[in-house]
Structure 1
């Protein structure tokens, strides 16, 4: 980590200079232990989660690295994913995969190093991005040789305390923001339910002296066509075909997405073998093979004519009775699917709605005037929800970058600038980072080159 003048009392050093090499061993055959592998790391929370409880004879060959409380483990596999964790007391003297580099700081605050290995510069450095490449795996030496700014011992503690507070606030804000899309999903569903029950326009009917004349009618009575598609025999698809052929995967988020795996059939097939399922803009489509069921779309004018496979049914409304958009929202609400679920058939793992069920499905039907008002209100409320969702996504993007911004400030000394000014005696002389490095060197020399035990700052 480089760039800029170091704060007073700080020095540049490497991870290898402030940590001791950790030992490896083969577990005894009957030894019971907790095994931490790469998959045990929650990359979002940076904690050990769901490790394996093993006995030695069942241990994989990679179960070799001893870990202790306050160690920092860094995954060397796909380091760009930043699978790192601070070892808690629960996993003291357990065993981790050789796919980790284990950092055991000496006289240095473990939480400071844990924050360091979460920084963007560290991630990019051991991933090779600093050199302009992306490595599938890092080496132990990549971690050990990583250079970073080391503050005095007292300042390390202040920095980690500030980081704990600030990053907890970021996590709390992020958690609240991440709940909003689900709230908006419920809001949209509630809007549709109110719409098809007439509750959304209850006051509108009173204000306009309109009698509640809703009726329940079969889809076949409100549509001039309710028809499922089919897949023509042989090889009907042509790259240069003119007619777009829809499959269920082309219905995404209740809209047509024909950019994904588009397929075309010839005009000849369209008007012969697949004549019954010719579809036009404004037709409503619903998948009848699931799970999941309830995928709905209204055809756009991207193409003048479409066709569809057997897993989709089209509804073409009688415009004197029914608005296409109103029927679209009725189907999106999901009552039709819920009503027929107990009678659906299909092979194991598959649910089918029959064409007969589609034709006999009961559709709530107000006047054309009220249908228009319902569509207007639903679209207005959905637009409001979409605006909020966009703002939330933008806020989440900013919050997600906030963690790295805070970490960068910490390692530039910006979080503790005032503290240093108020405590000059705690960052100079024997309390400086340079003096700390000398103590670490002296301890190593006194150990005669043997592994040193960890001592907390």
Structure 2
């Protein structure tokens, strides 16, 4: 960087604060808010067509093509974008700081506000906990090395050259990610429909069919209920009344109408038939600091397994015994959430937990009778495409929340193969998922490296290291001084004259 350019240090407020009309809409309009921006591509992808009566209170700023929008909320997410020609005249949210300049190219400015230094400096200035945001004056105070328009053009051209190649590589990596996610779903679909084990069935004849397994589970289910009832009578010092076994609540049978034909040896069962118990969790307040029982919450129900890294503890004694605590064979299901994709997401307890754990009220617990593999099989069915469709079609919605009730979940049909076939299918799923996971980890690492390379390129660009200066250009420092002089002169002209005080 030349000595002259080292002194050409400017603030965004000096060069990118042309006035933006704050008149808002007067008729039907196109609205751009923070949710309209794709943070990955830094483009406006979801502008909204609204009538005047639908105008939010934040719909104030009349945008021009070439404006650079910077979200003031959660600047660490870097929701920034350039207003394209087709959105000239759109109305922007006041949640944006609009950068408009005669001296900075819009594409140069857009790249500048994507730099890590900008993101870091803005993130360090956020105010507010629930709605963390920076102020317009914080953005305006950001300093950078000013370049002449000609040098800006050269920098942008070089950035486009380098970043377009990088973007192409990132697009390929993300496409590979999607293919792997699709393969996971295809694997589950093949498993719960029987295609994954078709070759296995052709060579093997299980000693117990799916129907016989279901009958054995139902027998054990009833035996457990009767044992609990006898224990209650004994605790109360009562003799069991006549025909008390007839009060056994029979589990709901699956509705097989329009269900596909199952492979030989399989049978349809309901969730309730396979679970000896099912229940809601506790609504007791929990915190990180308390020393009560560990309580699993929605964040602990990850994709298929339990994540025990972020645990809260009950603030009071829950009074649970070992039989109440989560145990191997339990399946936890998210029953309510703002995202329909999370409702019904489940995790199975497959190993002993280090100490007794309970679960929160936003979760449901299914306690399976047969714990060899049935709990993991139910999890596979819940996660497979057909299971997700069944859950999402039956989830009730209210006030932005989606909910699957326990009674509804009980009726969910489960295709039940023989136990030995379940184990074979689940092993195949696990082995393939481990291989997929390794590929996903490699892709994630490559994406992180690409993001770091992007920032290295941007840092070099705005440090004057990417493109050499053209000695025939006017020095940036000279141009900057002229701009400052022009701004100072305009400020004097705009300064209101004071009134003369009349003498008495």
Indicate whether the TM-score tops 0.5. Answer: yes
Q: Say whether residues 1:255 and 2:252 are aligned partners.
A: no
Contact map agreement 1:336 1:361 (CA 8 A) in 2: no
Aligned-residue offset at 1:61: 7.9
Match of 2:214 in 1: 219
Aligned mates of 2:56, 2:297 — CA distance in 1: 47
Alignment of 1:136-151 (within 5 A): 136-140=133-137, 142-151=138-147
Deviations 1:133-178 (CA, angstroms, capped at 9, x unpaired) = x9842343x4444332233433321211222233334344334433
Aligned-residue offset at 1:75: 4.2
Kindly tell me: are residues 354 and 161 of structure 1, through their superposed partners in 2, closer, same or farther at Cα, counting changes over 3 Å? same
Q: Say whether residues 1:285 and 2:328 are aligned partners.
A: no
Q: Say whether residues 1:184 and 2:235 are aligned partners.
A: no
Q: Secondary structure at the match of 1:85?
A: strand
Aligned mates of 1:339, 1:447 — CA distance in 2: 63
Contact map agreement 1:74 1:82 (CA 8 A) in 2: yes
Kindly tell me: are residues 360 and 61 of structure 1, through their superposed partners in 2, closer, same or farther at Cα, counting changes over 3 Å? closer
Aligned-residue offset at 1:381: 1.0
Match of 1:387 in 2: 438
Deviations 1:387-412 (CA, angstroms, capped at 9, x unpaired) = 11222222222223333222111112
Aligned mates of 1:227, 1:409 — CA distance in 2: 63
Aligned-residue offset at 1:364: 0.6
Q: Secondary structure at the match of 2:162?
A: helix
Alignment of 1:87-166 (within 5 A): 87-92=83-88, 96=92, 100-128=96-124, 136-140=133-137, 142-166=138-162
Aligned mates of 2:319, 2:95 — CA distance in 1: 59
Q: Secondary structure at the match of 1:256?
A: coil
Q: Say whether residues 1:50 and 2:99 are aligned partners.
A: no
Match of 1:168 in 2: 164
Kindly tell me: are residues 146 and 335 of structure 1, through their superposed partners in 2, closer, same or farther at Cα, counting changes over 3 Å? closer
Aligned mates of 2:77, 2:325 — CA distance in 1: 48
Contact map agreement 1:241 1:265 (CA 8 A) in 2: yes
Alignment of 1:402-421 (within 5 A): 402-417=453-468
Aligned mates of 2:479, 2:81 — CA distance in 1: 25
Kindly tell me: are residues 449 and 127 of structure 1, through their superposed partners in 2, closer, same or farther at Cα, counting changes over 3 Å? farther
Deviations 1:308-360 (CA, angstroms, capped at 9, x unpaired) = 78932211327xxx645774665456599589879989998644465996799
Aligned mates of 2:89, 2:397 — CA distance in 1: 51
Q: Structure 1 stretch 197-206 or stretch 116-125: which is displaced more?
A: 197-206
Contact map agreement 2:163 2:454 (CA 8 A) in 1: yes
Question: RMSD of the TM alignment (CA)?
Answer: 5.2
Match of 2:369 in 1: 316
Contact map agreement 1:13 1:148 (CA 8 A) in 2: yes
Q: Secondary structure at the match of 1:74?
A: strand
Aligned-residue offset at 1:101: 4.2
Aligned mates of 1:103, 1:344 — CA distance in 2: 47
Q: Structure 1 stretch 342-351 or stretch 304-313: which is displaced more?
A: 342-351
Contact map agreement 2:291 2:314 (CA 8 A) in 1: no
Q: TM-score, normalised by structure 2?
A: 0.63
Aligned mates of 2:91, 2:413 — CA distance in 1: 63
Q: Structure 1, unaligned stretches of length 5 or more?
A: 421-426, 452-457
Q: Secondary structure at the match of 2:435?
A: helix
Match of 1:86 in 2: 82
Contact map agreement 2:31 2:48 (CA 8 A) in 1: yes
Aligned mates of 1:342, 1:412 — CA distance in 2: 51
1:428 is matched with which residue: 464, 468, 471?
A: 471
2:9 is matched with which residue: 7, 10, 13?
A: 13
Aligned mates of 2:482, 2:73 — CA distance in 1: 33
Match of 1:228 in 2: 277
Kindly tell me: are residues 444 and 280 of structure 1, through their superposed partners in 2, closer, same or farther at Cα, counting changes over 3 Å? closer
Match of 1:423 in 2: none
**Number of residue pairs matched by the alignment:** 421
1:22 is matched with which residue: 18, 22, 30?
A: 18
Aligned mates of 1:35, 1:345 — CA distance in 2: 31
Q: Structure 2, unaligned stretches of length 5 or more?
A: 222-274, 495-504
Q: Say whether residues 1:365 and 2:362 are aligned partners.
A: no
Contact map agreement 1:71 1:86 (CA 8 A) in 2: yes
